[in-house]
Structure 1
Amino acid sequence: MRLKDCHNFHDFRRLAEKRLPGPIFNYIDGAADDETTYQRNTDAFDGCDLVPNVLAGVKDVDMSVTVMGQKLAMPIYCSPTALQRLFHHDGELAVAAAAEKFGTMFGVSSLGTVSLAEVRKKHSNPQCYQFYFHKDRGLNKAMMQSAKEAGVEVMMLTVDSITGGNRERDLRTGFSIPFRLSLKGMAQFALKPMWGINYVTHEKFALPQLDDHVDMSAGALSIGRYFTEMLDPSMTWDDVAKMVQEWDGQFCLKGVMSVADAKRAVDIGCTGIVLSNHGGRQLDGSRAPFDQLAEIVDAVGDRIDVIMDSGVQRGTHVLKALSLGAKAVGGGRFYLYPLAAAGQAGVERALGLMRSEIERDMRLMGCKSVSELNRDNLRFRT
């Protein structure tokens, strides 16, 4: 299989699986516990049908949206994810370049492998920073200041990860940073020598958002231990309110799932919320964001930008979310598999296919612009 043979999410996933060592593929592909929420995130869209209108004279389609003050040429963005240079040696730089080409937003994680400043120097499209709240308040302040100085437009505080999810696939392979692999995991790397060659012949792997502040070299600090030992499970709404004031700009909470929490986000001055269960990677058995979208939009959608991620694989998924009132949607695996498969070219192909799907589906729906999408063109099956 080659990149030109990839036509959808599942094709990219298969190509990524062929090219990545097993432990790294399973880090992207896996989720928490029995992975039921991971599956449910996408299945949730299947209970909702689109009802198109015909003869609408759709000559041109405008799929642009404005979310948290950022104008996007398409209503899906590349949600920030960790460790991207493990999947392809260009990592976040490849994603940023592809997102810029398609006029959409991308994100860099606290566990990102390229610095916020480096990405901003090379690319001017909207950038969000997925921030984790550490026990060290001084560290939090320093990292926020670095983001502000780099020119990041949107602070995106992740609030569903005060401890690590039980990702059993990683436990079986021994996946960690630095690598401390099981024998089975090491054998998987031996089967994919090209990945290893690329890994050792390109820039040394690093976590630049943390390198200046945290000693990541002592022992096997797994991703789970990073969450458990360094992040602050006692984080409260008062802590976040102070961050919102300090940032003094577009501030978004990622991982909101209840109406009550959405209302509190409004009260403390957030400009956006992302309905998300972390792609099923944290609390298995939690509700799918799409299933929560309507009631949260009804509660706060006139006062704050409501976004959703988790489970988005198709243009029709995007249209269903927009019809319920989401201002935009985020995707993670939808571009991570293409990144792993072919770097920037893979991400560009994924974004191009998604843009084509959204444009074609809007024509078939009889909608000239995103603003014409509404609940009248949806029906839910019981």
Structure 2
Amino acid sequence: MALKFDTKYPSIDDLRNKAQQSIPKFAFEYLDGGCNEDVNLHRNTSDIRDIQLKPQYLRKFNGASLKTKLFGIEYDAPFGISPIGLQGLIWPNSPEILAKAAFKHNIPFILSTVTTTSIERACEITEGKSWFQLYHPAKETVRNDIIKRAEAAHCPVLVILCDVPTFGFRPRDIKNGLAMPPKMSINNILQILGKPNWALNTLKYGQPNFKTLKPYMPKGLDLKQLGKFMDETFSGRLNEERIKPIRDMWKGKLVLKGVASEADTEEAIRLGFDGIIVSNHGGRQLDAGESSIKPLIRIAEKYGNKIEVMMDSGLRSGPDIARTIACGAKFTFMGRSFMYGTAALGKKGGDHTISLLKIQLQQIMEQLCCEKVEDLSKHLITNTLL
């Protein structure tokens, strides 16, 4: 595949700046912000960028390949698209834009329970290759039905989220009325009027709603009732009692997302998970916690031969992907980076962002004289993060 991208936006930072100009302030702040004072949001990326890699210029070099095997499937690059809630609020129809781009480029796309397209539609677009992230329902009947729908749609991987036992404290979202229940203030309406392209696309694709959850929602909910429904329907706190029935039901690969400690890794192995995604939810849940790269290094070294270890949170470039894999991650995921792309460039955003990251990662591997993704660890200079 010939990789092309819009040269006006040669970095994720360029896409972020364009996204900020293109969408209402409340939508951008929902996408861009962390929790509390944003300490861990910024630490995620800065700690990754403390990692240094060593080139080997005089060795024989036969070219670099980004292809990576995960759960028996060969992907064209060692990165995928993380689950993100309310994607259609950020840019209309963005889950479908990203699912199509992921399918075209042969990388994983993870659909969130609380995003704005359905399991069935995402799997139709990707011909049954979409992963599905389950935000744990409080009711067994809802949980079981969602899992059966994911199985019927041929999702190969079910991802369970463990790092939202409570909603993160996000001051901007609270100000903007994006906490539960949400509200639309005069200020938000004025912001919408200032972004006519976003508004027209929202009219075209309809007001964003939780399409996967639609069968379980009473008709005609107002905003206050929606908030109550979400509170009653979901319970994010996981334990063995909640995980075991899911492992028994789900015959595909099972991944735990949000792992941030060795203790939870050991428990995931004991409970029969096939993989973990080390993550702190993009710095949106625990501002006082570690950046994701720090536990990733410890976990990969100790458990990398027992379970597939992946990571998201803080990655914003091809060099960031290379650094993270060099530190022991088998695979990486990104959320904000892809949403900056769609918010900036609409229908072209997913393809642009994936192409950009592939080109950046390819250049890094060629510069290092690293032929295979799994050999990036050989180029790691002893890090100072431990």
TM-score normalised per structure 1: 0.94
Trace 1:1-382 onto structure 2 (pairs within 5 A).
4-124=7-127, 126-175=129-178, 180-215=183-218, 217-220=220-223, 228-374=231-377, 377-381=380-384
SS in 1 for 2:299: helix
> Secondary structure of the residue that 2:382 maps to in structure 1?
strand
Q: d(CA) in 1 for partners of 2:363 and 2:270?
A: 39
Report the Cα distance in structure 2 between the residues aligned to 1:138 and 1:32, rounded to whole angstroms: 32
CA distance in 2, matches of 1:221, 1:145: 30
Residue 225 to residue 7, structure 1, CA distance change in 2 (3 Å): farther
Q: 1:14 and 1:332 mapped to 2: Cα distance?
A: 16
- Does the Cα contact within 8 Å between 1:254 and 1:276 map onto a contact in 2? yes
Separation of aligned partners in 1, 2:266 and 2:225? 35
Please give the per-residue CA displacement for 1:109-166, whole angstroms capped at 9, x wherever unaligned: 1012111112222223731111111111111111110110011111000110122101
Q: Which amino acid aligns with 1:196?
A: A
With 139-148 and 237-246 compared, the bigger mean Cα shift is at: 237-246
Equivalent AA in structure 2 for residue 338 of structure 1: G
8 Å contact 1:177–1:222 — kept in the other structure?
A: no
The worse-fitting range, judged by mean Cα deviation, of 230-239 and 84-93 is 230-239
Aligned-pair CA distance for 1:195: 1.5
**Deviations 1:90-110 (Å, cap 9, x if unpaired)?**
221110111122110101110
Partner amino acid, structure 2, of 1:94: I
The residue identity in structure 1 corresponding to 2:62 is K
Name the CA shift for 1:179/1:135 in 2 (closer, same or farther; >3 Å): closer
Separation of aligned partners in 1, 2:190 and 2:113: 30
CA RMSD of aligned residues (A): 2.1
Deviates more, 1:106-115 or 1:194-203: 194-203
2-structure distance, mates of 1:218, 1:365: 56
Kindly provide the CA deviation profile for residues 56-101 of structure 1, in whole angstroms up to 9, marking residues without a partner as x. Answer: 3333211111223332110010111112222232221110111122
Secondary structure, in 3 states, of the residue corresponding to 2:172?
helix
Deviates more, 1:20-29 or 1:318-327: 318-327
Deviation at 1:311, TM superposition (A): 0.4
**How far 1:245 sits from its partner (Å)?**
1.6
Matches of 2:374 and 2:195 in 1, distance apart?
47
Deviation at 1:9, TM superposition (A): 1.0
Give distance in 1, aligned partners of 2:20 and 2:290.
Answer: 28
Aligned equivalents of 2:186, 2:195: Cα separation in 1:
15
- Aligned equivalents of 1:44, 1:36: Cα separation in 2: 12
Q: CA separation in 2, counterparts of 1:222 and 1:195? A: 27
CA distance in 2, matches of 1:205, 1:354: 28
Contact 1:164 1:228 in 2 (8 A): no
Identical aligned pairs, as a percentage?
26
State the shift of 1:234 in Å.
4.9
* Deviation at residue 180 of structure 1 after TM alignment: 1.4
Look up the equivalent residue of 2:151 and give its one-letter code: K
**Which segment is superposed worse, 214-223 or 51-60?**
214-223
Residue 203 of structure 1, CA deviation: 4.1
1:227-264 deviation line (CA, Å, top 9, x unaligned)? 65432255312211221121022000000111011011
Q: Mind listing any 5+ residue stretches in structure 1 that lack a counterpart?
A: none
Q: d(CA) in 2 for partners of 1:224 and 1:178? A: 4
Q: Conserved in 2, the CA contact under 8 Å of 1:257 and 1:289?
A: yes
Residues 312 and 318 in structure 1, CA contact (< 8 A), matched pair in contact too: yes
Aligned to 2:167, the other structure's residue is in SS state: coil
Bigger drift between 261-270 and 126-135 goes to 126-135
Relative distance call for 1:293 and 1:227 in structure 2 (3 A) is farther
CA distance in 1, matches of 2:227, 2:321: 31
Aligned residues: 381
Residue pair 2:90, 2:343 contacting (<8 A) in 1 also = yes
Deviations 1:317-375 (A, max 9, x none): 11111112211000001100111112231111111111011111001111111122215
SS of residue in 1 equivalent to 2:254: strand
My pick for the range that moved more, 221-230 or 174-183, is: 221-230
Tell me if structure 2 keeps the 8 A contact 1:98–1:344. no
Change over 3 Å in CA distance of 1:126–1:167 after alignment to 2:
same
